[in-house]
Amino acid sequence: MILNHKNGMSFFQFPNLARFPELWHGVFTRHGGVSPSPFHSLNTALSVGDDVNNPYQNRERILQIIGNGELVSAKQVHGKEVIIFSEDRKYPDMPLIGDAMISDMIGKYLLIQTADCQAVFLYDPIRRVAGNIHSGWRGSVLNIIAHTIHAMTQYFGSDPRDISAGICPSLGPCCAEFIRYKEEIPEVYWKYKDDNHYFDFWAISEEQLRDAGVLPQNIQTTRICTRCRTDLFFSYRGEKITGRCAAIIGLER
C-alpha cells in the first residue's frame, strides 16, 4: 500500500489502482478531522451520534485534498442495492439508500463509510467506470460484490477481466469471531473459519471477485485489521461508539 500525507491527513492507495492517472482513490485514516472523542477525529458518518456539522466539515477537508468535484454517499443498510451514476441516466432518487455505487461521471467521488466493514474498490479502465462497495458480513453473505460487477457489465458493458479491485482495511481473520455462525453465515463459507470460529472475510471477498470474473492478478488486499489498528482506523467491534472512516474512489476532473 502507498501511504500519503497531505494537509494533516493520511490516506492509503492501492498500487494497482494508482497506475491509472484518470482515477483518484484513497482510504483515509481516522486522523485530521474536527470531531471530538469518541468520534476522534475524521468521522464522515452523519448518523453515529457526532454533531452533524462535524462530518460535513470533515468531508469538506477530504474534498480539498481530492480537488474539484462532489462527494456522494448513501445510507448503508447492509443490503445489495447498487446505485448507478451516469450522464445518460436519471439521477438516483434522494435520499440515496444502498451499499454499492458505480459511476462513469468525472468529478463524482464515491464515498463508503467504514468501521470494520470492507470497502471494495473497483475500476474498469477500458470503460472508465469506478465502483465502491460496502461489504460487511451481511454484504458478504448476499455477495454484493457479484451484484456490483454484474451491474457494471450490464449497464456499462464492462468485462470483469478488465477490472482492478482493492479490498480496504477491515475486520481481519484475527478478530472476525462469529459464535452463531451456523445461523448467520451460509455453509459454503464455513471453509473460511478456523477452529475458534474466526472467519477470513478477506479471502471470501477475494473468492467472490474471482468468481465474478476478476483476474487474481488484478486483486489487491490491504490485510490491515481495523480492530487491531484503532490507532489508524475506527472499529465498531473494538470501540462500539465510534466514527466511520472514508474510502473514496472516482474519476478525476
3-state SS of 160-191 is HHHCEEEECCECCCCCCECCCHHHHCCHHHHH
Is the pLDDT confidence value at 231 over 90?
yes
Q: What is the pLDDT of residues 49-91, one digit of tens each?
A: 999 999 999 999 999 999 989 999 999 999 999 999 998 877 7
pLDDT grade for 94, boundaries at 50, 70 and 90: confident
Write down the pLDDT at residue 6. Answer: 95
Is the pLDDT confidence value at 207 over 80?
yes
Q: What is the pLDDT of residues 97-154, one digit of tens each?
A: 999 999 999 999 999 999 999 999 999 999 999 999 999 999 999 999 999 999 999 9
Write down the pLDDT at residue 253. Answer: 77
Question: Phi and psi of 60, rounded to 5°?
Answer: -65, -40
Write down the pLDDT at residue 191. Answer: 97
Is the pLDDT confidence value at 220 over 90?
yes
CA distance 201 to 196: 15
Query: CATH topology for 2-251?
Result: CNF1/YfiH-like putative cysteine hydrolases (3.60.140)
Instruction: Please report, rounded to a whole number, the percentage of residues in the chain having pLDDT higher than 70.
Output: 100
pLDDT grade for 215, boundaries at 50, 70 and 90: very high
